Amino acid sequence: MDHGVVVQFTKEKPVGAKAASTWLAARGLEVAALPWKVLIALHDANNTRFHLAIDNHEWGYCFCRGTGMSWIRITTAAFVHERDDFGLLLQTPTLANVGSLIQRLEDRHQMQLDRPRAMIHTNIAGAEHKIRLWVVAAL
């Protein structure tokens, strides 16, 4: 009789996907099917932009001001996607604390992003109101 040990390994979610699913649950949102996605676009009066993208695989953000752009994505780790003109890679917080990065950018560049008028696009049914509450309160 074979009394060998059977070991099963489960693949843990990458850090970006884990943060995204935690963010979704913290908003009290549930998805019926994959893939899901959320895009939040903040702008100021001078066309400075901060876009936050969250989906079931990763999250990331893009900050544009003048001709400069920093685009950071978080999958298995944070990395620069195309450019990081503002040196934001090493300043990337957790998704739960992304509001602190936005506030630092507003202070550094002496501008104010318009949270109440954020553009929100998602394929999660009935989620826009809960996401907008988070944008206004936490970002």
Give pLDDT tens digits for 41-91. Answer: 999 999 999 999 999 999 999 999 999 999 999 999 999 999 999 999 999
| pLDDT at residue 33, as a whole number | 81
Going along 3-48, which residue ranges are E strands? 37-43
| pLDDT at residue 135, as a whole number | 97
| pLDDT at residue 8, as a whole number | 55
pLDDT over threshold 70, residue 2? no
Tell me if the pTM is above 0.85. yes
Using DSSP, state whether 62 is helix, strand or coil: strand
Cα 90 from Cα 21, distance rounded (Å)? 23
| pLDDT at residue 13, as a whole number | 79
One-letter amino acid for residue 82 of the chain: E
pLDDT over threshold 70, residue 112? yes
Cα 53 from Cα 82, distance rounded (Å)? 16
pLDDT over threshold 70, residue 102? yes
What is the domain partition of the chain in residue ranges?
15-138
Instruction: Report the run of H or E that residue 3 belongs to, with start and end.
Output: none
Cα 87 from Cα 75, distance rounded (Å)? 19
Could you report the per-residue pLDDT of 4-39, keeping only the tens digit for each?
Answer: 565 555 567 789 999 999 999 999 998 988 899 999
Q: How confident is the model at residue 122 (pLDDT cuts 50, 70, 90)?
A: very high
